[in-house]
């Protein structure tokens, strides 16, 4: 294949250039034209031609490194996954490669647009590349009377039927989500719970938080409608291999800290563009001790740092989680010992404290205890980031501890049907056999709502818990840009479920240690 893969891998200083350099090239298999590697390749080619013209010896065929047996350099997990998906023996950061996609996910907001593009570009009678590799999950604007939103669910249903899509988690009866056996809820959590996330695979989704699935040791990244339409027809996508940033977290996790605090710490450290075009690799003894849901919370907000994807090593915790969820085989990949990282950050987790991200940016980090004077109007616990079973369990734990009622409206939006069920059936540790729902009811929270994305991103005007007037909200969601939850002047403090629950109990932004 026409590729300068035989050239030496770019040095680290070259990689650092990519922050402001050319970010997207269509020259497949070629490193960007201004790189040292390409310069070396250009020189090689010119010389070879010149020699051939004069002496005419037989010109050796350009062979890939694997066949020449040349030394392979160490790769990170992300590089390995992309290499395998591109059927290459190795890849380097900065290279553009065509990868085979294992799964494509879309939802009700971007699905119709993606389908429109697919039909226009491949033909109205075209068939998708693989009816079993597309997962269509309505979750964003479901429980609304907005006609266009409802029409969008109809559009994806028609397409799913027409293409005989295997995985379409439909909802037809909006008045009672439980009456819909197929309906799941928030796409990223549904993907995990239904066994679509598998180590070593490549997943793309038409949503920025697709990176959530990186918790399973796979390459998972968000794309737009056009790229998704392309995958729908071809099963492949052109991807630029990202360099990897490594985050090593060691130390015992304090009892008042949750994974959300860890990722807020990181984003505050590197800023919202600190990981642009990078893979974020999370490792260390603390990460190894995290549950799958914790790991998802960590990888979920990789995009808030500008990251392309996030990864955590697949281990026994991963395999146990997947047990019974998927029958597909998979092969996990791991970073080589000698793999090169662009940057490495080390954290002693035992020294960290609960955090919030103040308005209006996820990197506007502050200690929760230093925001004690900030009066709030409401609390929102939900979304793919903070609406999983363990997130609610954590919030319930704080409420048991406090034994009081909340001082502000507290909205609870479980991510999926399964999570909703758990709230009503699972006993909370230390709760004397009570379930989350009972504890929340006693504390005066709102009744757990329909599982969906809800007000995390505002949505149509009638969305439950949408901020329609300027208010101050502490939320377990992922973005707090102006207008994110509805009103442009709304103020959103991103926090862990512990911090959110503690804040609900006092009516101010509160460090959970007040109740733990």
Partner 1 sequence: MILNNPATFLSINPSSFGKLSSTSFRMTTAAINAMKSLSVSTNLMHFPAKTSSKLALPQTQQISRQSLHKNVLNFHLSTPRNNRISTYSVPNPPRAVASQSYDALTEPNKKIFHGKCFVVDDNIDTDQIIPAEYLTLVPSKPDEYEKLGSYAMIGLNAKYGRFIEDDQIKTQYPIVIAGANFGCGSSREHAPVALGAAGVKAVVAEYYARIFFRNSVATGEIYPLESECRVCDECKTGDIVTVEIEGNKLINHTTGKEYVLKPIGDAGPVIDAGGIFEYARRTGMIAAPSS
Nearer to partner 1, 358 or 418 (CB): 358
Nearer to partner 1, 24 or 433 (CB): 24
Min separation Cβ 34 and partner 1, Å: 8
Nearer to partner 1, 249 or 303 (CB): 303
8 A C-beta contact, residue 72 and residue 89? yes
Min separation Cβ 124 and partner 1, Å: 6
8 A C-beta contact, residue 99 and residue 81? no
**DSSP structural state of residue 446:** P
Measured distance CA(113)–CA(238) in Å, rounded: 20
Min separation Cβ 442 and partner 1, Å: 33
Min separation Cβ 369 and partner 1, Å: 26
User: Which of 265, 509, 466 is closest to 380 using CA atoms?
Assistant: 466
Sheet holding 309-312, edge to edge: 309-312, 278-283, 243-250, 343-348
Min separation Cβ 308 and partner 1, Å: 6
Nearer to partner 1, 271 or 401 (CB): 271
The structure tokens listed for 452 are: 């969906």
Nearer to partner 1, 365 or 397 (CB): 365
Min separation Cβ 305 and partner 1, Å: 10
Q: Using the structure block, give the residue that is written with the tokens 């928030």.
A: 186
* H/E stretch holding 299: helix 292-300
Render the burial of 150-167: b for 16+ CB within 10 Å, e for the rest: bebbebbbebbeebebeb
Nearer to partner 1, 234 or 343 (CB): 234
In terms of Cβ atoms closer than 10 Å to its own Cβ (0-12, 13-18, 19+), residue 18 is buried
Q: Is the dihedral of CA 292, 293, 297, 299 positive or negative?
A: positive
Beta bridge partners of 344: 246
Min separation Cβ 272 and partner 1, Å: 6
8 A C-beta contact, residue 368 and residue 352? no
Measured distance CA(263)–CA(477) in Å, rounded: 12
Nearer to partner 1, 163 or 437 (CB): 163
Min separation Cβ 396 and partner 1, Å: 29
Min separation Cβ 72 and partner 1, Å: 21
Nearer to partner 1, 146 or 442 (CB): 146
Render the burial of 313-336: b for 16+ CB within 10 Å, e for the rest: bbeebbeebbeeeeeeebebbbbe
Residue 135 neighbours by CB under 8 Å, 6+ apart: 103, 104, 105, 106, 167, 168, 169, 187, 191, 194, 196
**CA neighbours within 13 Å on the CB side: how many for 432?**
5
Nearer to partner 1, 338 or 469 (CB): 469
CA 178 to chain centroid: 27
User: Which of 309, 328, 293 is closest to 193 using CA atoms?
Assistant: 293
Nearer to partner 1, 72 or 488 (CB): 488
Min separation Cβ 195 and partner 1, Å: 23
Straight-line distance from the first to the last Cα atom of the chain, in angstroms, rounded to the nearest whole number: 60
Measured distance CA(436)–CA(423) in Å, rounded: 5
Nearer to partner 1, 460 or 507 (CB): 460
Min separation Cβ 79 and partner 1, Å: 17
SS (HEC) of 306-323: CCCEEEECCCHHHHHHHC
8 A C-beta contact, residue 512 and residue 398? yes
């Amino acid at each position: 294949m026409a590729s300068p893969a035989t050239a030496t891998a770019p040095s680290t200083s070259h990689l650092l250039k990519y922050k402001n350099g050319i970010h997207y090239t269509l020259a497949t298999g070629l490193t960007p034209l201004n790189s040292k590697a390409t310069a070396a390749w250009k020189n090689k080619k010119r010389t070879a031609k010149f020699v051939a013209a004069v002496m005419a010896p037989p010109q050796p065929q350009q062979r890939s490194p694997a066949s020449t047996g040349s030394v392979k350099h160490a790769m990170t997990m992300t590089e390995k996954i992309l290499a395998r998906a591109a059927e290459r023996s190795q890849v380097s950061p900065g290279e553009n490669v065509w990868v085979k996609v294992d799964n494509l996910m879309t939802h009700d907001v971007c699905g119709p647009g993606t389908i429109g593009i697919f039909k226009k570009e491949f033909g109205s009678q075209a068939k998708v590349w693989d009816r079993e590799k597309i997962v269509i999950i309505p979750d964003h604007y479901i429980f609304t009377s907005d006609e266009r939103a409802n029409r969008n669910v109809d559009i994806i249903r028609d397409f799913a039927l027409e293409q005989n899509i295997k995985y379409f988690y439909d909802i037809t009866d909006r008045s009672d989500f439980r009456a819909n056996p197929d309906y799941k809820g928030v796409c990223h959590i549904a993907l995990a719970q239904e066994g679509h996330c598998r180590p070593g695979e490549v997943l793309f989704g038409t949503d920025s938080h697709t990176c959530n699935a990186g918790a399973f040791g796979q390459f998972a990244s968000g794309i737009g409608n056009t790229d998704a339409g392309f995958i729908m027809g071809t099963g492949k996508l052109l991807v630029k291999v990202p360099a990897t940033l490594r985050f090593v977290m060691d130390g015992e996790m304090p009892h008042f800290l949750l994974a959300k605090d860890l990722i807020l710490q990181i984003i505050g450290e590197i800023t919202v563009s600190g990981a642009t075009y990078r893979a974020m690799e999370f490792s260390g003894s603390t990460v190894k001790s995290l549950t799958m849901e914790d790991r998802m919370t960590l990888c979920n907000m990789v995009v808030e740092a500008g990251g392309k994807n996030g990864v955590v090593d697949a281990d026994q915790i991963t395999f146990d989680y997947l047990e019974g969820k998927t029958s597909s085989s998979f092969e996990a990949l791991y970073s080589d010992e000698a793999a090169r990282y662009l940057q490495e950050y080390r954290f002693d987790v035992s020294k960290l404290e609960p955090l919030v991200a103040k308005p209006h940016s996820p990197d506007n980090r502050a200690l929760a205890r230093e925001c004690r004077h900030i009066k709030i109007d409401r609390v929102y616990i939900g979304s793919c980031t903070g609406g999983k079973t363990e997130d609610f369990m954590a919030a319930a734990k704080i409420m048991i501890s406090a034994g009081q009622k909340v001082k502000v409206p507290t909205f609870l939006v479980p991510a999926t049907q399964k999570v909703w069920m758990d709230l009503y059936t699972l006993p909370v540790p230390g709760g004397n056999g009570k379930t989350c729902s009972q504890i929340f009811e006693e504390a005066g929270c709102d009744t757990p709502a329909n599982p969906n994305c809800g007000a995390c991103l505002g949505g149509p005007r009638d969305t439950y818990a949408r901020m329609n007037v300027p208010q101050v909200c502490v939320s377990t969601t992922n973005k707090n840009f102006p207008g994110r939850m509805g009103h442009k002047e709304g103020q959103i403090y991103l926090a862990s479920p512990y911090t959110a629950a503690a804040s609900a109990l006092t009516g101010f932004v509160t460090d959970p240690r007040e109740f733990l």
